[in-house]
């Protein structure tokens, strides 16, 4: 999903490609798009772009000149219009000729030149959207890149909010406070600071000042950089970055902007530069866990105490199974041993030892494969009666896995 750096790079791309270019006519929408029509028609207009967090605003400005006759009755626009875009999962802008329109071009702006060119909003998965005469979404906080000072103040002044009770990895995706941060950025930021993803956000952020005294706010680049400048920016060590998460929320996205191109875009051919920049996200040797919202979190080391309970229970269960397998004898191969490799099929385990049958008689049934039974222990046979195990359990109903014949997890009763 495009994040703050990708949308900022998209705005730089539009400004570069549309600089000095005059557009004309209708703004056309594709037939399959469910986003609204753009009621803007003009004989001559220009397009500029600006980004804020995970939004991009295009401004269509009519060009007034002596050779253009304005006729409000004809429906020609004489006032600027803002269109706010949200990229969803796959949105981006592309300038092409009319003959080379991208397949998933859903909103198109046509130039007045000959041959005509087209600025298209391309969205393969159609999760993106646009809002004619729109404004920045009110629920989003100051941008991490272009409004750094306001961003810091907004976070440090609201640490008492209940939102900061959650793990830091989930709070970083809250656009009310971290406008522009997404999945790969949160992984890279926490990795650089060696912060476990599932620790309380307030604990991490308490003590940070509302003003960054080390960092005199650096202006965000308003033009695309060349390859050499990008390489120098990548190699430059950020002074004093250790410990200040809010500062890295500003500087790490700027590193992506310095790389140029479109940022995170696995589909494009020159994705290798961005991939080489990544230190944690989808990097070999790193771990991943789904957070409470179902988003994949990449990290290294201990995840922290607030890891989702489903992950904790699965981990505990896995350890128990490993322990059971370690203490179980491996049966000899023979004609009576049949191992079925149907892991998905549920197999019922019947414990056929009646109440009047004592433990010594049970031991005689399969004494060859059973372990010694002490007082209080229970001898259990799986369905095939090939394997026997000794269990010391107080519960009357619990789950049992036969580690030797791959029986599925099945409820059984102790009599």
Can you tell me whether residue 48 is helix, strand or coil?
A: strand
**β-strands 397-400, 91-97 pairing:** unpaired
Catalytic status, residue 3: yes
Catalytic site includes residue 303: no
CA–CA gap between residue 207 and residue 191 (Å, rounded): 20
DSSP 299: E
Residue 55 CB coordination number (10 Å): 24
Q: How far is CA 413 from CA 4, 355, 367, 407, in A?
A: 56, 12, 22, 16
Of 116, 103, 85, the C-alpha closest to 2 is: 85
Strands 28-29 and 105-110: antiparallel
The DSSP letter of residue 111 is B
Alpha-carbon distance 199 to 3, whole Å? 23
- Start-to-end Cα distance in the chain: 55
Among candidate residues 2, 142, 253, 308, the one labeled active-site is 2
Active site residue 348: no
Decide if 217 contacts 310 (C-beta within 8 A): no
**What is d(CA 182, CA 119) in angstroms, rounded to the nearest whole number?**
26
Tokens (6 digits) for 139: 């629920």
- Cβ(76)–Cβ(70) under 8 Å? yes
Catalytic hit among 6, 29, 43, 54: 54
Would you name the residues annotated as active-site residues?
2-3, 54
């Amino acid at each position: 999903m495009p994040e703050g750096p990708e949308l900022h790079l998209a705005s730089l791309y539009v400004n570069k490609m549309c600089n000095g270019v005059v557009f004309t006519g209708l703004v056309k929408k594709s037939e399959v798009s469910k986003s609204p029509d753009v009621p803007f028609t003009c004989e001559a207009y220009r397009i500029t772009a600006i980004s804020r967090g995970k939004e991009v605003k295009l401004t269509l400005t009519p060009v007034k000149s002596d050779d253009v006759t304005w006729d409000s009755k004809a429906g020609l626009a004489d006032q600027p219009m803002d269109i706010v875009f949200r990229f969803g999962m796959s949105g981006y802008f592309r300038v092409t000729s009319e003959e080379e329109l991208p397949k998933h071009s859903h909103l198109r702006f046509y130039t007045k030149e000959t041959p005509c060119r087209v600025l298209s909003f391309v969205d393969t998965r159609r999760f993106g959207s646009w809002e004619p005469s729109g404004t920045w979404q009110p629920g989003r906080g100051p941008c991490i890149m272009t409004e750094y000072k306001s961003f810091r103040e907004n976070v440090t002044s609201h640490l008492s909010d209940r939102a900061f009770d959650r793990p830091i990895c989930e709070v970083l995706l809250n656009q009310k406070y971290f406008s522009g941060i997404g999945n790969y950025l949160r992984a890279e930021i926490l990795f650089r600071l060696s912060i476990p993803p599932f620790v309380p956000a307030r604990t991490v952020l308490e003590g940070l000042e509302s003003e960054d005294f080390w960092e005199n706010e650096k202006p965000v680049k308003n033009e695309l950089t060349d390859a050499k400048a990008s390489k120098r920016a990548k190699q430059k060590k950020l002074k004093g970055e250790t410990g200040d998460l809010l500062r890295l929320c500003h500087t790490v996205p700027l590193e992506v902007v310095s790389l140029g191109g479109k940022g995170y875009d696995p589909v494009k051919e020159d994705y290798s530069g961005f991939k080489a920049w990544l230190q944690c996200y989808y990097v070999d040797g790193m771990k991943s866990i789904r957070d409470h919202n179902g988003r994949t979190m990449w990290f290294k080391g201990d995840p922290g105490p607030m890891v989702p309970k489903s992950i904790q229970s699965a981990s505990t269960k896995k350890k128990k199974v490993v322990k059971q397998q370690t203490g179980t004898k491996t049966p000899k191969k023979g004609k009576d041993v049949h191992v079925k490799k149907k892991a998905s099929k549920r197999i019922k385990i019947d414990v056929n030892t009646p109440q009047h049958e004592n433990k010594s008689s049970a031991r005689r049934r399969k004494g060859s494969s059973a372990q010694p039974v002490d007082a209080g222990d229970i001898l259990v046979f799986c369905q095939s009666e090939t394997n026997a195990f000794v269990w010391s359990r107080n519960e009357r109903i619990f789950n049992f896995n036969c580690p030797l014949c791959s029986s599925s997890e099945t409820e059984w009763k102790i009599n």
